[in-house]
């Protein structure tokens, strides 16, 4: 009876959640390796009758999707780099120093994330257009920083709060400056938190659509915008669309699998104060 309650109360709901979350991705992956005749046949069977990579080959050889993947990678890596460079010293300042308006600023970081993204993209569009930065990597990286930095700083601050301040004081007694304490003491201990923040920044930038649509164009086109090109007014290229969606999902999945240990440690470490 206890085993039955565990199965019905825990395992069945968990399997249902997994099926709901992974089902669309599995269906997209299977559709990307189906022949065209199976994609248009009704009803569509769950298991493909034949397997083919023709959609992936056509996607990479006959379209600009490969260069779009490179654009997305450059923007995502740039957003991660900028985010970590800004969030670490900002989080250290919020965690270790007491200054007027500190609490108000931290609250405002969360308030920014409550506004719809469309309210941020329009002023940013006019600002970047005046600066002549539209349709560049700088525009997208700056745009992504506007909505990812607040949460990154908040998460990093919570993690540094869990590092005992006694370590800072001991280093300063030995003659270390504030910058040296940050570089030699805090930085090695905050690596799991930086991994968690970096993964968050990468996935948020990689999957972002509205900023990529508004702030870029012909010179820089990320994969989220490129996928839209396969949806026409009268026709949808299902093979190319599903193949592209599968390739877009792979980097985030692989990144999470390789860094899941540091990610879990970074997300839970900030919840425990030393």
Residue 274 lies inside a defined structural domain of this protein: no
Same-domain check for residues 207 and 263: yes
Indicate whether 101 and 197 sit together in one domain: yes
pLDDT class of 264 with cuts at 50, 70, 90? low
pLDDT bucket at 266, cuts 50 / 70 / 90: low
What pLDDT band is residue 149 in, cutting at 50, 70 and 90? Answer: confident
List CB contacts of 4: < 8 A, sequence separation 6 or more. none
User: How does residue 274 score in pLDDT terms, banded at 50, 70 and 90?
Assistant: very low
Contact between 269 and 192 under an 8 Å Cβ cutoff? The reply is: yes
Of 52, 69, 84, the domain-final residue: 52
| For range 258-265, the mean pLDDT | 64
Cβ pair 256, 199 in contact under 8 A: yes
Asked whether the predicted pLDDT for residue 263 surpasses 70, the reply is no
Is 78 contained in some domain?
A: yes
Which pLDDT score is estimated for 10? 79
For residues 37 and 69, membership in a common domain is answered with no
Query: Is 153 found in the same domain as 35?
Result: no
Q: Are residues 191 and 115 in the same domain?
A: yes
Burial, 9: exposed, middle or buried (Cβ in 10 Å; 0-12, 13-18, 19+)?
A: exposed
Q: What pLDDT was estimated at residue 36?
A: 79
**Is residue 170 located within the same domain as residue 39?**
no
268 band by pLDDT with thresholds 50, 70 and 90:
low
Q: How far are the Cα atoms of 27, 94, 227 from residue 114, in angstroms, in the given order? A: 33, 21, 28
190 located within any domain: yes
> Which CATH number characterizes residue 195's domain?
1.10.3720.10
Model confidence at 145, pLDDT cuts 50, 70, 90, reads confident
In this predicted structure, the answer to whether residue 72 has a pLDDT above a threshold of 90 is yes
Same domain, 91 and 204: yes
Enclosing domain of residue 208: 54-269
Please report, rounded to a whole number, the percentage of residues in the chain having pLDDT higher than 70. Answer: 93
Domain count, the chain: 2
> Would residue 29 count as lying in a domain?
yes
pLDDT confidence of 75, banded at 50, 70, 90? very high
> For residue 273, is pLDDT > 50?
no
Do 180 and 226 reside in the same domain of the chain?
Answer: yes
Confidence band, pLDDT 50/70/90 cuts, at residue 113: confident
pLDDT at residue 32 tops 60: yes
Based on the domain organization, do 47 and 58 belong to the same domain?
A: no
């Amino acid at each position: 009876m206890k085993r039955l309650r565990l199965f019905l109360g825990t395992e069945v709901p968990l399997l249902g959640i997994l099926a709901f979350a992974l089902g669309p991705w599995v269906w997209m992956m299977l559709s990307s390796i189906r022949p065209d005749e199976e994609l248009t046949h009704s009803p569509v069977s769950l298991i493909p009758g034949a397997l083919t990579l023709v959609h992936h080959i056509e996607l990479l050889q006959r379209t600009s999707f490969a260069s779009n993947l490179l654009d997305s990678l450059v923007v995502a890596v740039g957003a991660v780099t900028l985010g970590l460079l800004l969030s670490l010293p900002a989080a250290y300042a919020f965690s270790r120093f007491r200054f007027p308006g500190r609490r108000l600023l931290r609250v405002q970081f969360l308030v920014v994330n409550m506004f719809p993204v469309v309210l941020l993209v329009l002023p940013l569009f006019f600002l970047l257009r005046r600066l002549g930065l539209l349709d560049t990597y700088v525009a997208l990286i700056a745009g992504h920083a506007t909505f990812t930095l607040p949460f990154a700083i908040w998460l990093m601050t919570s993690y540094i709060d869990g590092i005992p301040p006694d370590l800072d004081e001991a280093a300063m007694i030995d003659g270390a400056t504030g910058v040296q304490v940050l570089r030699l003491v805090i930085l090695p201990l905050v690596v799991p938190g930086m991994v968690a923040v970096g993964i968050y920044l990468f996935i948020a930038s990689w999957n972002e659509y509205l900023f990529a649509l508004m702030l870029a164009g012909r010179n820089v086109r990320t994969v989220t915008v490129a996928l839209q090109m396969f949806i026409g007014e009268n026709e949808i290229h299902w093979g190319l669309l599903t193949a592209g969606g599968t390739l877009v999902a792979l980097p985030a999945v692989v990144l999470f699998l390789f860094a899941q240990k540091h990610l879990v440690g970074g997300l839970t470490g900030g919840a425990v104060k030393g």
